[in-house]
Structure 1
Amino acid sequence: MARSIRRRELLQAAAVAALLTGCTGAPGPKPAPSSSTDAPPSATFTFGTPAPPTGLDPAVTTDIESWRITRQVLEGLLTTDPDTGAPAPSLATKWSQSSDLLSYTFTLREGIRFHDGTAFTAAAVKANFDRWFAFTPALRAGRILPFTAVFKAHSDAAQLSVYKGCTVLSNTQVRIDLTQPLTSFLQALTTPAFAISSPAALAAGTADVEDQSAFGSKISRYATHPVGTGPFRFKEWTQDRVLVESSPDYWGPRGQIAQLSFVVFDQAQSRLQALVDGRIDGYDAVTLDNIETLVRKGFQVVRRDPFSVMYLGMNQAVPFLQNEKARLAIASAINRDAVIRPFFLEDTKPAAQFVPPKLNGFNQAGGFPSYDPEKAKRLLTEAGYHGEELKFCYPLDVTRLYLPSPEKVFAELSAQLIRVGLNIKPVPIEWSDGYLQQVTAPGDHALHLLGRYGTYADPDDFLSPLFGSKTGEFGFFDAPLFSKIERARGLPEGSDRTQAYQTINAQLAGSAPAVPIAFPISAVAVSARVDSYPTSPVLNETFNRVTLKTS
């Protein structure tokens, strides 16, 4: 009993430390003004990550660890305001929307050059949009690219695309035209996927030819050496490290860090030990097992607001899972609290829908079945289950911000499913062997563990990529649902849009194409040399805004 009380006190202390060191929602640190009299960056900084990037071309990946690095090197037209999360100026200084809601005109920042020395102009913006629109079926095969998730189609099916075109109005002005209103358009542009690359570097790196290999993925030469306008320029990518260095010509605050290394420690204990030993200055994906040691040794734990959903995926390409009662049986067999309490950070909440609580359309009542093992057994009988083997895929040797302990979560979930009578076949897959690609591509995987980390503050960012079209991950086709999601994303902000997303959430709960389990809390641990680390619920964390103690 005393040990249990002591553990709770430590967890509460960690929560207080998080509040004092920068919980999301508080203003981020104010970067030092950039001027000719400022001292140039001179510090080195090493940050531990739970997995390597899968590629450094943000337009063709949705991987968190890849985007963490490309955020330092590449910038988009817009970024997110650290206080409000609203779209804010970046490479565009201002913008306006036409009265018919179909055109957006952007005024660009002047005098900026890419890291390769070429000029950032309106023509460069157009070249990037033209590239994304022209992505070939071969490049898109087996995955949902960010452009596809937002705009639905490319130039080979232009009549189906929300995107119409990008027009150069002058050297410092572009207009982007849509075929129909898209309420989340400006929010979507804040994501790393729409960062502007040097057109010269894209051409030199044959960016649309994926003939290189990296950690189980095929990538292009450009994806091994990105070139943007960001606060850091790319230096090198080795087996376990990515090195970037402060860009001497950056238009904004350069901060204090001259050289920034991202080093992979795929085990939570190895990240913790590296911080304790002084080999790294901070790391992401703090796990519950780390908290006690971090608090005892006086490290800062900086928490983020929950902005992700961890779920159990079900693939309806497997015949048994085409039966709605079978999927609802699996949903009813899951005790979320028994999964969350032992493995997720304090304040992680059970999820009964796929839209996080702070977003428009969140249903207070949820809707997915609650834990009821007897109901699960009855539904399995009604579904005609006769012990068919169900392959359950889960990742090894990785920590994801939405899934801190995959092996332990799998063990608990599989035990719950076995108890109601399901025949589960474990399928462990190394994350570095292409786990993400294997469970999101068509195949015979029945169940799998995954999550969605939000990149902008709109329900469309969660629902469209997951359930807005047929995918290899879930293998279902539901035309009425797809149509409802398409309609909701074009509605103006207000009660009608809120109601539309609540209706979609209810429909998902009734058919259960996947089962939401948790809205995880994530956290960063940093050393005593860090004065402030700017957390962001959408991970818009650039290291020129990290402030270090000077004495």
Structure 2
Amino acid sequence: MAGNTRRRLTVQIGAFVAALALAACTGAPGPAPSSSSGTTSTVPTATFNFGTPSMPLGLDPALTSDSESYRITRQVLEGLVGVDGSTGQTTPLLATQWKDSNNGLTYDFTLRSKVTFQDGTPFDAAAVCANFNRWFTFPADLRKQATGISFQSVFKAYSDTPVFSIFKDCKVVSPADVQINLTRPFTGFLQALTLPAFAISSPTALTAQKANVLDTVRNGQPMSAYAMHPVGTGPYVVSGWDASKVTLTSYKGYWGNRGQIATINFIPYDRAETRQQALLDGKIDAYDLVTSGTFDQLVKKGVQIVQRDPFSVMYLGINQAVPPLDKPEVRQAIEMAIDKETLIRRFFIDNTTQASQFVPPKLSGFNNNAPSLGYNPDKAKALLQKAGYKGEELKFYYPLDATRAYLPTPEKIYAEISRELVAVGFNIKPVPVNWDDGYLQKVQSPGDHALHLLGWNGSYADADNFLGPLFGEARGEFGYSDTEVFHNIERARAVPNGDQRNAQYQAINAEIAASVPAVPIAFPISALALSNKVESYPASPVLNEVFTNVRLKP
């Protein structure tokens, strides 16, 4: 694996995880982020071509949780609060300050003045409430169509069942002041607002482009007209989206620093090798998701590589709605059949670590003693015999033409895991699905998927951001319905930061690990490759990488 070569490589790794414990602070914010200084010394003129592993699945961040969609919408839309890439603290963005009261049930935000949406609509408290009310009142039909909605995993329920929702209401106090009320305390509320899903859209554009009407299918996903042309307050405007690229251009009326880049082209290359060659040929200026197979080649050619701290988990999903996966012995056999060490050594970048739970090691709530069955193929065979497994066929879904921070080479990872499962007696039927043909929707909805490859990339520094979306409620992805775990996750969200909350999440991690609703495999390192044109790139573990912060050489 050319370990010595890699140790000589100078890489940039953010200090984000070193200060994750600070991320749950509330109250008065710190200084404004450097990307939004409020002044612009020069007019941006540069064109920047960025290689991505796939096209976005839609550009309405309220309806998708796809990382490639978020990469683009972070440039176009902004939320009330941001996250500091070096400390993990919440920072001012569209809100300049905030305070909580009423025992954590009321949050008052003072909004940034003289800000307009890219369509000329004023940004004010009414616009904020229009967005919160839209999310809260998403109709049931829409919720069935769009499987990537974050509102439910964060706020638990919608207006049709308000008694179960954490969100109560949004009130316009004045044009510059907005109040958000909760039905019960939620310790991670401010951190949750840093999710791209809660970026503020122009109410005018939402209405004009019928944002809740998903009457178009693109890249395998149903979407609205708004999802092809979102309108926010961010530094860039969507100026084009065709089969070859998504193009953004600098928004002349942006309230903050516009940076050096006037035009960004996000160009998809579904293979790591083709992304690498495009960089070497000068077709792109940077690309994301360097794989272990191309890492050493880039190092030898002197290419700049920027690594991110690990903030994602790759897992093998298990659907308990498909017999015999409802039997714990069968799920345990699956875990014991998988050689995580070999998978990591062969398919992930150095310093990727094994996972025995779904919360990364540097987050509060990580459990050093979470039960792990380990790699034991002989015991796996014995468990299958004990469970009465008769060779029932298990459909194993995996994505084609995809690279994600948590899943660098899915075809190769599938082949190895499948080989290991067959070796202990499982009857595996491969079901390859192109990522752009609705892979996410197929494996996250109820269906015949018995096993599938996926992962979760954290978006803010709280254990709830991992456990809540994955195991906080019944989901079609896992067929998992442990009401005690659901209740414990719900209870832990309201506990103030400290030892008690940490202990509760540690206990939840142990409960989940013991029942094996999925097999966590790795906490991957991800990396970007940069051309010599780039002086610095704002790498972020939560992928909060706004291109006004990219610095180009003179």
Give the TM-score normalised by structure 2.
Answer: 0.95
Partner of 1:83: 86
Does the CA-based 8 Å contact 2:250-2:258 persist in structure 1?
A: yes
Gaps of 5+ in 2: 20-31
Partner of 1:147: 151
- Pair 1:451-2:455 in alignment: yes
- Pair 1:43-2:46 in alignment: yes
Aligned mates of 1:345, 1:251 — CA distance in 2: 39
Q: Which amino acid aligns with 2:94?
A: L
Partner of 2:4: 9
Aligned mates of 1:367, 1:52 — CA distance in 2: 38
Equivalent of 1:362 in 358, 366, 374: 366
How far residue 108 of structure 1 moved from its aligned partner, in angstroms, is 0.1
Does the CA-based 8 Å contact 2:33-2:92 persist in structure 1?
A: no
Partner of 1:290: 294
SS at match of 1:416: helix
Identity of aligned pairs, percent?
55
Deviations 1:147-205 (A, max 9, x none): 00100100011111010000000000000000000011000001100000000000011
How far residue 390 of structure 1 moved from its aligned partner, in angstroms, is 0.6
Aligned mates of 1:364, 1:304 — CA distance in 2: 23
Aligned mates of 1:475, 1:262 — CA distance in 2: 36
SS at match of 1:451: strand
Aligned mates of 1:504, 1:240 — CA distance in 2: 44
Gaps of 5+ in 1: none
Partner of 2:165: 161
How far residue 476 of structure 1 moved from its aligned partner, in angstroms, is 2.0
Q: Which amino acid aligns with 1:95?
A: W
Aligned mates of 1:424, 1:497 — CA distance in 2: 40
Does the CA-based 8 Å contact 1:18-1:300 persist in structure 2?
A: no
Aligned mates of 2:363, 2:37 — CA distance in 1: 34
**Shift in CA distance, 109/31, structure 1 to aligned 2, threshold 3 Å:** closer
Aligned mates of 1:413, 1:48 — CA distance in 2: 29
Partner of 1:137: 140
How far residue 13 of structure 1 moved from its aligned partner, in angstroms, is 2.9
Partner of 2:25: none
**Shift in CA distance, 67/358, structure 1 to aligned 2, threshold 3 Å:** same
How far residue 99 of structure 1 moved from its aligned partner, in angstroms, is 3.7
- Pair 1:519-2:514 in alignment: no
SS at match of 2:460: coil
Instruction: Show the 5 A alignment for 1:18-29.
Output: 18=12
Instruction: Show the 5 A alignment for 1:87-106.
Output: 87-106=90-109
SS at match of 1:320: coil
Does the CA-based 8 Å contact 2:56-2:66 persist in structure 1?
A: yes
Aligned mates of 2:486, 2:106 — CA distance in 1: 25
Deviations 1:429-470 (A, max 9, x none): 111111111001110110000000000100101111111111
How far residue 35 of structure 1 moved from its aligned partner, in angstroms, is 3.8
How far residue 478 of structure 1 moved from its aligned partner, in angstroms, is 1.2
How far residue 213 of structure 1 moved from its aligned partner, in angstroms, is 1.2
Q: Which amino acid aligns with 1:102?
A: L
Partner of 2:384: 380
Aligned mates of 1:30, 1:223 — CA distance in 2: 28
Instruction: Show the 5 A alignment for 1:66-465.
Output: 66-141=69-144, 143=147, 145-465=149-469
Deviations 1:514-542 (A, max 9, x none): 00000000011110010000011100000
Deviations 1:57-113 (A, max 9, x none): 000000000000000000000000122111110000000000411010000000000
**Shift in CA distance, 128/497, structure 1 to aligned 2, threshold 3 Å:** same
SS at match of 2:161: helix
Does the CA-based 8 Å contact 2:104-2:185 persist in structure 1?
A: yes
Equivalent of 1:531 in 519, 532, 535: 535
How far residue 366 of structure 1 moved from its aligned partner, in angstroms, is 3.0
Does the CA-based 8 Å contact 1:181-1:490 persist in structure 2?
A: yes
Number of corresponding residues: 541
Aligned mates of 2:203, 2:268 — CA distance in 1: 30
Aligned mates of 1:387, 1:170 — CA distance in 2: 65
How far residue 39 of structure 1 moved from its aligned partner, in angstroms, is 2.1
How far residue 495 of structure 1 moved from its aligned partner, in angstroms, is 1.1
Aligned mates of 2:54, 2:15 — CA distance in 1: 24
Does the CA-based 8 Å contact 2:121-2:202 persist in structure 1?
A: yes
Aligned mates of 1:17, 1:188 — CA distance in 2: 29
Does the CA-based 8 Å contact 2:36-2:93 persist in structure 1?
A: no
**Shift in CA distance, 74/497, structure 1 to aligned 2, threshold 3 Å:** same
Does the CA-based 8 Å contact 1:23-1:302 persist in structure 2?
A: no
Aligned mates of 1:509, 1:155 — CA distance in 2: 33
SS at match of 1:9: helix
Q: Which amino acid aligns with 1:12?
A: R
Aligned mates of 2:65, 2:459 — CA distance in 1: 9
Does the CA-based 8 Å contact 1:56-1:69 persist in structure 2?
A: yes
How far residue 31 of structure 1 moved from its aligned partner, in angstroms, is 5.7
Does the CA-based 8 Å contact 2:79-2:200 persist in structure 1?
A: yes
Deviations 1:324-365 (A, max 9, x none): 111111111111011110110010000000000111110112
Does the CA-based 8 Å contact 2:81-2:94 persist in structure 1?
A: yes
Aligned mates of 2:17, 2:341 — CA distance in 1: 27
Aligned mates of 2:401, 2:36 — CA distance in 1: 39
Give the TM-score normalised by structure 1.
Answer: 0.96
**Shift in CA distance, 215/130, structure 1 to aligned 2, threshold 3 Å:** same
Does the CA-based 8 Å contact 2:15-2:86 persist in structure 1?
A: no
SS at match of 2:247: strand
Does the CA-based 8 Å contact 2:62-2:150 persist in structure 1?
A: yes
Aligned mates of 2:36, 2:236 — CA distance in 1: 16
Deviations 1:300-331 (A, max 9, x none): 10000000000000001102011011111111
SS at match of 1:155: coil
Q: Which amino acid aligns with 2:11?
A: A
Deviations 1:372-395 (A, max 9, x none): 111111111111101111111101
Aligned mates of 2:345, 2:106 — CA distance in 1: 48
Aligned mates of 1:545, 1:118 — CA distance in 2: 26
Aligned mates of 1:337, 1:26 — CA distance in 2: 25
Aligned mates of 2:270, 2:244 — CA distance in 1: 10
Partner of 2:551: 547
Aligned mates of 2:217, 2:545 — CA distance in 1: 27
Aligned mates of 2:486, 2:63 — CA distance in 1: 23
CA-based RMSD: 1.6
Q: Which amino acid aligns with 1:432?
A: D
Does the CA-based 8 Å contact 1:350-1:519 persist in structure 2?
A: yes
Q: Which amino acid aligns with 2:74?
A: R
**Shift in CA distance, 510/32, structure 1 to aligned 2, threshold 3 Å:** closer
Does the CA-based 8 Å contact 1:144-1:465 persist in structure 2?
A: no
Aligned mates of 1:520, 1:400 — CA distance in 2: 10
**Shift in CA distance, 471/252, structure 1 to aligned 2, threshold 3 Å:** same
Q: Which amino acid aligns with 2:130?
A: A
- Pair 1:502-2:497 in alignment: no
Does the CA-based 8 Å contact 1:306-1:522 persist in structure 2?
A: yes
